[in-house]
Structures are given as structure tokens and as C-alpha cells.
Amino acid sequence: MNQKKPDNQNNNSQPPPTRWGSLVQMLIILALIPYVITTMMTASMKADNREIMYSQFLSLVDKEYVASVEVTSSQINIKLKPGVEEAAAEILNSDISQAQKPVTYYTGVIFDPGLSANLYEKGVDYKHSIPQTASMFTVIASWVIPFGIAYIIYFFFTRSMMKRMGGDSSSMGFMGGVSKSKAKVYNVEKNVAITFKDVAGQDEAKESLVEIIDFLHNPEKYVKVGAKQPKGALLVGPPGTGKTLLARAIAGEAKVPFYHLTGSEFVELYVGVGASRVRDLFQTASKDAPCIIFIDEIDAIGKSRDNSLSSNDEREQTLNQLLSEMDGFDPSRGIVVLASTNRPEVLDKALLRAGRFDRRVVVEKPDLIGRESILKVHASKVIMGDDISLHEIALATSGATGADLANIINEAALRAVRLGREFVIQEDLMESVEVVVAGKEKKDRILNSKEKELVAYHEVGHALVSVLQKNSQPIQKITIVPRTMGSLGYTMNVPEEDRYLMTREDLLSQITMMLGGRAAEIVKFDTITTGSSNDIERATSLARNIITIYGMSDRFGPMGLESTTQQYLDGRKVLNCSDDTGSEIDEEVRKILDSCQQAAIDIIAANMDSLDRIAKFLIEKENINGEEFMKLLNDKDKTSAA
């Protein structure tokens, strides 16, 4: 007995419902009340009522079975005389067992001016009843309850807003104290598992961050000498180069808590929210020192205050708060503020001055060696076959960022699974390079044979011009399989190494190669197609750069005519010259393009037999790799020699 009692108690005691749970229940119950009331009311009305036809009602009256009639605005309730049920059942053609129950009937109201005379004649008691008291409750129910619900929803809405604003909402009165915790827009990672090992390449960036790590390990060492560490460092670079990754790795290396948040999360519609979040963040973090605060995409708050047309009070307040917090904290306690951006040029100068984000770490797109080591890092997480050459992939991905490379490895792994293999082979990797560069193969887009011929000649035109020029570039692959990103085919060049310096001749031969596709169309078919739009766009922009950015034209010489505004994004340019000069630039661009196109046409015209031979092969096979291409090209020498 003694032992059983506690047992019983245990069984009965259920976990107490959470406060939110009970509130939700309450809301549901409140919402159900009007429904319950109306169903109850109609149910009681319909208790043992049966609807009959108006004609049946008239027959009942006619046969003098009806004792009394009550007409309401919507229906006529009919009471039968006692003892006539059986007879009435015949008219109503219902079975007797049902009819024997004391039933009242009702029917709808029909415009029938003769009814009252008729009823009077048959001696039926009748009256028209006015709805009143019963509906008082309905009125209350149907008006007050929706308002009540609306109020409750509003109440929770404002409350959660207050919470997100970091305000204390316990003073809100009824149902107060749901949660007094302040909203956090930042994430804290106490043990970051990522270290510098996970960030491949980027050696220069790492080097300049080593000191920060050492400082976080041992702030006293610096304080003793009187050396001040920078309070903040700004990671700058194009998207996907590993800025976020690098910041996390610093925390991992230093083994300190990592406070991570995104600039845009600070700024909301409500003025003052961002500022209070900044204050909150620095307060919490300073209790946790040494630690790292990382503000990702800081340009969302750090935009220069005076260069925007629409002033944004909220952003300015947030920025001001951030500036004053950065001045306020004591760096010897070991707090380092990191931030990342890909638009450093828009940042407010006040953020960049000494004592704030004065250290700038540039995170560039990886070079050949960097790409290979990034590929290695990501390949180590995937099962690879024996034929893998990451070097080859690195060569083929000039200009790719770390994120692109991670994506390529993942796409390759997905392809391997799709094809039922348990490891990744080189072909998967090459295919996924193409997927990332040009989109997926589009199997359902079938070119007709004329189109296929045009595309094949176009692509072989590019390839021939590319290989046969003075500054030739080897061909990696030619394909005429359409891809999802709009290309009907393409030619892949692979440089043997990364190039950092280009001569004027290099650039011109690139333009010539871009126009090689169109040149082939002109020479072979004496026509031009829409397939060159992308070639033309790229060729034009390169020709323009030759003149305006690189200062390589005879006409203008070393005069800077355009400047880039978003160096790390799409690199939009603004013209820095008069309108007259602008139209002269257009003329010069046109000259370059014309002469390059002529050069391409000359090369193609001199190599028609190679063009035909390779295009024929390509139409048949749809893909040609670099070796096959060179073999086909060299066949010519044999045939012409023979």
C-alpha cells in the first residue's frame, strides 16, 4: 500500500503543459465558442422538427389536421392536432413509427396572401412571432467574441514584437510573464570545430589573422608591452571566397566563443531595434571575453551615411551604436570584432578609421594552387576513384571561388550516386564543372539538323580561331549538347596556368576567338544567327575595357575613362568623361571589334577543310575532347601533304 501510493501519483502526474501550450488551447477554445453556441441553438430548434413541403402543409390545413401555426420571419412551425399523426403520415408519406412521435413540422415561408384567411377558415390558431430575447445572446456572441479574438491576436503580436525589440514585456499586464528572455539575433558557438585546416589556400589572409588568434589566446602578453591590438578586422572579397568560413576558423583556432550575426538582421522597420540589438550583443559578448564578434555582410548597416538618397534613420542609429560600442569596449579584455563585406567601397569612413575596422584582410578568388587545395579539402569528404586528377579540375576552373569548387565536388558526388556508383570518377568532376559553368544538359531540347550544323560550325569556328592564332590557347572540349543556362553548345579553353598579366595582343586575340563562332557562320553559310549574342556581349565589354580601363588605345592613350564601382561584385562601371568622348569611345570599340572579326574570318577562310572535317565529326559525336580535336586538325597536314 505504502509503496503503491507514490507509484499512482507518478502515473497520474503528467508533464505540466507549457505556458504556450495552454495559451494555444485557450485560443482554440475561445475561437470555438461562437460555433458551439450557434450549433447548440440550431440543434435545439431542430430537436424533433421535420421539414415538409409547403404543398403538404396546405394539404394538412385542408384536412384540418393542424392545431396551430407559428409564422416566423424565416419559417412556419406547424403543430398537429393530437391523434392525427397516422392520417397525417399518409400526406407526408413518412412511416408511422416516425410519425407517431410527437413531432412538430416546419416549412419555408412562401408569399401566400390567402394563407391567413385559409387558416382562419379552418379554425387553426396562428400567430406571427417576432424574434427578440433569444437573439440578444447571439448578438453578443457574434460581436464580442470576434473582437475578443482579434484583441488577443493583436496582444500576442505586439508582445512578440516587443520581445524582438529586446524590451521587457512583463509589464504588459494580463497573461504577462510568458517569457522574459530578450530576443537574440545572433548565434553563439562556444566550440567552433572549424580551423585553418578547413580553409584551403588564402595563406596571406591567414597570415594576417594569426596575430589576432595569438592575442585572443593571451591578451596579457600584449598588454604588458603596451601594444594595442586592433579592435576589428574587415574581411573583404568577392562572394563565396570563404570569408564567413575564415571568420569561423579564427574562432576555432583561438578556441573562443564565436558570436555570429548578419548585418541585415540588425536593421528592421522599427527605429531603435538595431541599436538596442547592438548594445545587447556587446553586453553579452563582453561577459564572455575573450571572444569573437563576427558581423557578416556589414554593408547592410555600415553603408556610408550620406550617399543614399532615401535616408534610413534606423540604419544610421544602428551604425552609430556600433561605432560607439566599438570605441567603448576595452580591447585588453580580448574581444575582437570581425566583419565581412563584398562592397568595401560603400562603407562609412567612420567605420574604417583607426581604432575600429582598421585592419583589412583581402580574401581573393583562389589561384591555381589555391583551387587545387580547396578541391582537396572538399574531395577528402567524398569517396574518390583512382583516376582523379584534381589538378586538371583546378586548371579548368579558372575564376571559380571556393564556394563554386565545393559545389563542383558535391555535384560530382551526386552524379556518381545517380549513376549507381559508390565513388566519384574524373568524368563526374568534369561533367559537374560544366554543370556549374554552363548548366545541366538539356536532353529535351532537340536541335533540328540544320540548327545542329550551324551550332557545330559555330563552335568549331571558336576552337579553330583559338588554336590557330599567334597567342593560341589549347582546347579542352567542344560540345553541341544544349545546356540549361541557355547555351546551345560551347567550347572550353583551358589555360595552362593562371594569367595575371595580359598584353594587348593577348586581349585582342581573345576577342578574335570570341568572334570566331560568328566568323564561321559567315564564311560557311553566308549568314548570321542569334547564337552569338553572348560572344558579342563579352567581346564588346572586353574591347571597351581595352580602351577605357587599360588605356591601350592609340586614340586616348593612358587615359582612365571608366571606373569600377563594385570591385568584388559584378563590377559595374561608370564613365568618367564627357559625352563627346563617350561617343568617340564607342567608335573605337567598334573599330577593334571590326578588325578582330575580320581576323577571325581570315583564319576560318584559310582553314575551310579543317572546319568541315571537324564540324562533321562533331555533328556525329556531339562532343570532342582536346586530343581528338588536335588529331583531327593535324590530319589536315597529312591530307594536304599527300
Q: Minimal distance in Å, beta carbon 269 to Mg ion?
A: 24
Q: Which lies closer to ligand ADP via its Cβ, residue 278 or residue 375?
A: 375
Residue 118 burial by CB count (10 A; 0-12/13-18/19+): exposed, middle or buried?
middle
Q: Which lies closer to Zn ion via its Cβ, residue 342 or residue 510?
A: 510
Residue 106, H or E segment: strand 104-108
Question: How far is the C-alpha of 46 from the C-alpha of 234, rounded, in Å?
Answer: 75
CA 164 to the chain's CA centroid: 23
Which among 26-34, 181-189, 194-202, 538-546 is the span making contact with ligand ADP, rule CB under 6 A? 194-202
For residue 106, the cross-strand partners are 51, 77
Question: How far is the C-alpha of 284 from the C-alpha of 182, rounded, in Å?
Answer: 11
Active-site residue (options: 453, 459, 521, 588): 459
Determine, following the binding rule CB under 6 A, whether residue 274 of this chain makes contact with ligand ADP.
no
Cell numbers for 338, please give them: 570581425
**Residue selected from 91, 200, 546, 603 as contacting ligand ADP according to rule CB under 6 A:** 200
Which among 193-201, 260-268, 275-283, 493-501 is the span making contact with ligand ADP, rule CB under 6 A? 193-201
Determine, following the binding rule CB under 6 A, whether residue 344 of this chain makes contact with ligand ADP.
no
Fill in the DSSP letter of residue 525. I
Determine, following the binding rule CB under 6 A, whether residue 347 of this chain makes contact with ligand ADP.
no
Determine, following the binding rule CB under 6 A, whether residue 199 of this chain makes contact with ligand ADP.
yes
Helix axes 579-605 and 449-468, enclosed angle (nearest 10): 100
Question: How far is the C-alpha of 460 from the C-alpha of 614, rounded, in Å?
Answer: 7
Q: Which lies closer to ligand ADP via its Cβ, residue 142 or residue 187?
A: 187
Phi/psi of residue 125, nearest 5 degrees: -75, 130
Q: Which lies closer to ligand ADP via its Cβ, residue 244 or residue 276?
A: 244
Q: Which lies closer to Zn ion via its Cβ, residue 257 or residue 517?
A: 517
Question: How far is the C-alpha of 95 from the C-alpha of 103, rounded, in Å?
Answer: 13
Residue type for 420, please?
A: G
Question: How far is the C-alpha of 385 from the C-alpha of 528, rounded, in Å?
Answer: 45
Catalytic-residue membership of 51: no
Give CA separation, 53 vs 50, 59, 400, 442, in Å.
10, 10, 80, 66
Which option in Zn ion, ligand ADP, Mg ion, none does residue 344 bind, with CB closer than 5 to 8 A by kind? Answer: none
Which option in ligand ADP, Mg ion, Zn ion, none does residue 535 bind, with CB closer than 5 to 8 A by kind? Answer: Zn ion
Determine, following the binding rule CB under 6 A, whether residue 241 of this chain makes contact with ligand ADP.
yes
Determine, following the binding rule CB under 6 A, whether residue 339 of this chain makes contact with ligand ADP.
no
Residue type for 488, please?
A: L
Q: Minimal distance in Å, beta carbon 510 to Zn ion?
A: 13
Question: How far is the C-alpha of 103 from the C-alpha of 47, rounded, in Å?
Answer: 9
- Which of the residues 434 through 493 are near Mg ion (CB under 5 A)? none
Q: Contact residues for Zn ion (CB under 5 A)? A: 517, 535
Determine, following the binding rule CB under 6 A, whether residue 242 of this chain makes contact with ligand ADP.
yes
Measured on CA atoms in the order 512, 513, 515, 517, is the torsion positive or negative?
Answer: positive
**Residue selected from 78, 351, 374, 465 as contacting ligand ADP according to rule CB under 6 A:** 374
Which option in ligand ADP, Zn ion, Mg ion, none does residue 356 bind, with CB closer than 5 to 8 A by kind? Answer: none
Nearest-CB residue for ligand ADP: 402
Could you give the residue ranges of the DSSP H alpha helices within 329-423?
Answer: 349-352, 368-379, 390-396, 402-418
- Which of the residues 394 through 413 are near ligand ADP (CB under 6 A)? 402-403, 406
Q: Which lies closer to ligand ADP via its Cβ, residue 381 or residue 590?
A: 381
Determine, following the binding rule CB under 6 A, whether residue 239 of this chain makes contact with ligand ADP.
yes
Q: Which lies closer to ligand ADP via its Cβ, residue 377 or residue 502?
A: 377
Going by C-alpha positions, the residue among 66, 142, 141 that lies closest to residue 105 is 66
Q: Minimal distance in Å, beta carbon 363 to Mg ion?
A: 10
Give CA separation, 285 vs 37, 76, 147, 290, 313, in Å.
54, 76, 44, 9, 26
Question: How far is the C-alpha of 276 from the C-alpha of 317, rounded, in Å?
Answer: 10
Which among 233-241, 326-334, 569-577, 611-619 is the span making contact with ligand ADP, rule CB under 6 A? 233-241
Determine, following the binding rule CB under 6 A, whether residue 437 of this chain makes contact with ligand ADP.
no
**Residue selected from 107, 244, 509, 610 as contacting ligand ADP according to rule CB under 6 A:** 244
Q: Minimal distance in Å, beta carbon 274 to Zn ion?
A: 48
Q: Which lies closer to ligand ADP via its Cβ, residue 9 or residue 380?
A: 380
Q: Minimal distance in Å, beta carbon 297 to Mg ion?
A: 7
Going by C-alpha positions, the residue among 233, 34, 642, 618 that lies closest to residue 632 is 618
Determine, following the binding rule CB under 5 A, whether residue 342 of this chain makes contact with Mg ion.
no
Question: How far is the C-alpha of 441 from the C-alpha of 445, rounded, in Å?
Answer: 9
Q: Minimal distance in Å, beta carbon 412 to Mg ion?
A: 24
Question: How far is the C-alpha of 181 from the C-alpha of 167, rounded, in Å?
Answer: 9
* Residue in the block written with cell 561605432: 323
**CA-based R_g, the chain, Å:** 41
**Residue selected from 166, 201, 257, 461 as contacting ligand ADP according to rule CB under 6 A:** 201
**Residue selected from 76, 78, 245, 463 as contacting ligand ADP according to rule CB under 6 A:** 245
Q: What is the 3-state secondary structure (H, E, C) of 539-605?
A: HHHHHHHHHHCCCCCCCCCCCCCEEECCCCCCCCEEECCCHHHHHHHHHHHHHHHHHHHHHHHHHHH
**Residue selected from 119, 377, 382, 619 as contacting ligand ADP according to rule CB under 6 A:** 377
For residue 341, the cross-strand partners are 236
How many binding residues for ligand ADP (CB under 6 A)?
17
Determine, following the binding rule CB under 6 A, whether residue 31 of this chain makes contact with ligand ADP.
no
Q: Which lies closer to Zn ion via its Cβ, residue 76 or residue 455?
A: 455
173 Cβ neighbours under 8 A, 6+ residues apart: none
Which among 137-145, 166-174, 243-251, 312-320 is the span making contact with ligand ADP, rule CB under 6 A? 243-251
Q: Are 383 and 422 in contact (CB under 8 A)?
A: yes
- The bridge status of strand 475-479 relative to strand 490-493 is antiparallel
Which option in Zn ion, Mg ion, ligand ADP, none does residue 152 bind, with CB closer than 5 to 8 A by kind? Answer: none
- The bridge status of strand 66-71 relative to strand 75-80 is antiparallel
Q: Minimal distance in Å, beta carbon 336 to Mg ion?
A: 18
Cell numbers for 136, please give them: 440578444
Q: Which lies closer to Mg ion via its Cβ, residue 244 or residue 509?
A: 244
Q: Minimal distance in Å, beta carbon 296 to Mg ion?
A: 5
Question: How far is the C-alpha of 575 from the C-alpha of 563, rounded, in Å?
Answer: 7
Determine, following the binding rule CB under 6 A, whether residue 482 of this chain makes contact with ligand ADP.
no
Q: Which lies closer to ligand ADP via its Cβ, residue 297 or residue 535?
A: 297
- Which of the residues 211 through 270 are near Mg ion (CB under 5 A)? 244
Give CA separation, 478 vs 249, 267, 406, 619, 625, in Å.
40, 49, 25, 11, 6
Q: Which lies closer to ligand ADP via its Cβ, residue 297 or residue 316?
A: 297
Binding marks (x or -) toward ligand ADP, 497..526, rule CB under 6 A? ------------------------------
* Residue in the block written with cell 583551358: 494
Residues comprising the chain, all counted: 642
| Active site residue ranges | 459
Contacting positions for Mg ion (CB under 5 A): 244
- The binding site for ligand ADP (CB under 6 A) comprises 199-202, 239-245, 340, 374, 377, 402-403, 406
